[in-house]
Chain A
Amino acid sequence: MLTYDKVLKYNSIKKNNFKKILINFLSNFNNDILKDYVDYFSRKMSNIKTEFKNNEFDQIEKEILLEEYNKENYEYLIIGYDVNSKLNFDENLIKNYIKNIKDILNHIRNSKKLNNSNVIFFNLSQTQSIDYYSNEEKNKFINQILTFNKYLDNVALRDKNISVLNIDQIINRIGRDNYYDDKNFFLFKSPYSELAHNIIGQEISKIISSTINIKKKCLVLDLDNTIWGGVLGDVGPHGIDLTSFVGKNFIKFQKYIRILKKEGIILAACSKNNFEDVKECFNKNKNMILRLSDFSSIKANWSPKFENINIIAKELNIGKDSIVFFDDSDFEKSQMINFNKTINVIETSKDPKNFIRDIEDSNYFKIKNLTTEDKKKNYQYKILKRADTLKKKSKNINEFYKGLNMILEISSINKYNFERSVQIINKTNQFNLTTKRYNEIDLKKFLDQKNQFSYVARLKDKFGDHGITALIMINKLKNKWFIDNFILSCRILSRNIEKVFLNEILQKLFIKKISSINGIYKKTNKNSQCKNFYLDNGFIKLKENHFLSPKKFRIKGQKLVKVKYVKN
């Protein structure tokens, strides 16, 4: 177990590359130690430094009523009620909690500064130390707790900025006696043991990082002894273990992987096996939960995995840093870490019953809010692969583009595509000319300006709908027009879409008599591929990385893509 001295030691290390966030943590117990754990896990797992507002414990109501509170500005609010610290349970206790929570939510949703902040609520455990109550009282108490938890679940369901920390889930994991520690309550008014501090801290930091961090896109799985027991090459498709006492863990793991897939994680497999054997195993073994078609890419051969994974990244057109590698073998893991440093490697335990926890604890895929685009992603990567096959078959590139029947649907950024616009602004790294990130509030501010034009584009082709995959934002600064953001999702690169889109928008502006538009290329570690974009499209170089649009802008190949304007 992680000990508290290690937490303090790690937290005292100064590092500059942390993203800082300010949290207001209100609770009816002392949370000073817990804050150290939250900070530890946030730093360690997500490069986030958490700073906490100073406040006293057990003053939730007072804090809310305080005048000062109205002026506050923080990104996270954590509200922790724990009834175990209340020795006298009275009937109004939980009613009061619900009332307080309603007040808090009303307050922050009506406040301009806070209405976008995230809120995390602790729910209440049903396993309270209420042994000394009569059965009737016990039932009453449990019912009230259930009402409270249900209320929180409903609130979280309605509001995507609200999360609930499920305390009973933690208690089920470690046991009630290991969760509460009376001595700590006596010493500093925290009811939790060191182990409970550990886990609550970790869970809170997972929620925080799920709302801040860019999610990983793809999970690359080993096969032998990872999604089934045994070595396929040795035992054949019917010899792999999915049914024994140990084997059932692999079934459970496969079911979990399917859930990840449903949530929009792209699956790939990378295994030292013959491809034909793998195919046969998926097709013939009836116990398998995962299907061959669940994987967007499969590399079953004898090349080193750190090389295969490069091919997977290329095939799926995603950055290597958005790939997570899961393998039971220490050898493969260490090879990956040594020879392909940008890949995220999950620390796996040897025991398949812990595989799910290994992935959960890695925090790479913790997802709070899925957009519809996320859910479609697997489908979109698959249609991309089909397009790739057509590309190989076509004799020349123009014929290939023509055969795709591409339609680009352009619309201004509006309430229908707002959420996706924020996502694309914050997630796209490769074809991103300025890498200017905007959160929801900032984007709203941008759109409220008088002199701005902002559009998104959706690409459809003969294989299906790729979703909203391009965005441009243009505004006027000191009498000059600038392309503030120009982004294209990597999954539709190399189809000339970027040119067609820019062409369309610039034509639109020319009609409005806006003819000189400045384009900036801001270099990052990842966007070198669009370095020459403006130059290649006839812009004139003014300064290093600063370009000006030509008087006439028309690109070749325009006819290969049909453009439509739509409202949503």
Chain B
Amino acid sequence: MLKIREELNNIFEIVLKVPPKKSKINLNYKNVKKWDSLNHVKLILVLESKFKIKISEIDSLKLISYKNILNYLNKKMFNPA
């Protein structure tokens, strides 16, 4: 669980350029300036390759906040369908 958060923080820093020290838990596509449609795609691609999962088209449209993504990853990693 901790590892997932760590990785996710790292991804937010690389893709969305969020400073490392900033808390990320309340971030979403509205309050992150760089979270535009292109970076959203980049985010999905990085999540897929980093966690070795496939994110469906429909799911990818829902993953628009840090919390959503974290929950999604936890579900996907620990209860794979």
Contacts and interface: CB of A to CB of B under 8 A. Distances in A.
Q: Are A and B associated in one complex?
A: yes
Interface of A: 3-5, 8-9, 12, 32-33, 36, 183, 186-188, 194
B50 A183 contact: no
Contacts of B57: 183, 186-187
Contacts of A187: 41, 44, 57, 60
A470 B23 CA distance: 63
B69 to A, nearest CB: 14
A186 B58 CA distance: 10
Nearest to B38: A32
Given A12-B14, A186-B57, A194-B45, A5 B50 contact: yes
A8 B41 contact: no
B25 to A, nearest CB: 21
Contacts, number: 38
Interface of B: 11, 14-15, 37-38, 41-42, 44-46, 48-50, 56-57, 60
7 contacts: A3-B50, A5-B14, A8-B14, A33-B45, A188-B37, A188-B41, A194-B45
Contacts of A183: 56-57
Contacts of A188: 37-38, 41
A222 to B, nearest CB: 36
Nearest to A6: B49
Nearest to A32: B38
A33 B45 CA distance: 10
Contacts of B45: 4, 33, 194
A148 B77 CA distance: 47
A188 B48 CA distance: 15
A196 B48 CA distance: 15
Contacts of B42: 4, 8, 33, 36
Contacts of B50: 3, 5
Top 3 A-B residue pairs of the complex, sorted by shortest distance between their CB atoms: A3-B49, A188-B41, A5-B46
Nearest to B60: A187
A9 B13 CA distance: 9
A194 B47 CA distance: 12
B16 to A, nearest CB: 10
Nearest to A188: B41
A33 B38 CA distance: 9
A192 to B, nearest CB: 11
Given A12-B14, A186-B57, A187-B57, A4 B38 contact: no
A86 to B, nearest CB: 20
Contacts of B11: 5
A186 B45 CA distance: 13
A187 B63 CA distance: 13
Identify which of B11, B14, B57 gathers the most chain A CB atoms within 10 Å of its CB. B14
A9 B14 contact: yes
A3 B48 CA distance: 9
A431 B29 CA distance: 58
Given A32-B41, A188-B41, 10 more contacts: A4-B46, A5-B14, A5-B15, A5-B50, A8-B15, A12-B14, A33-B42, A33-B45, A188-B37, A194-B48
Nearest to A10: B14
A7 to B, nearest CB: 9
Contacts of B38: 32, 188
A201 to B, nearest CB: 13
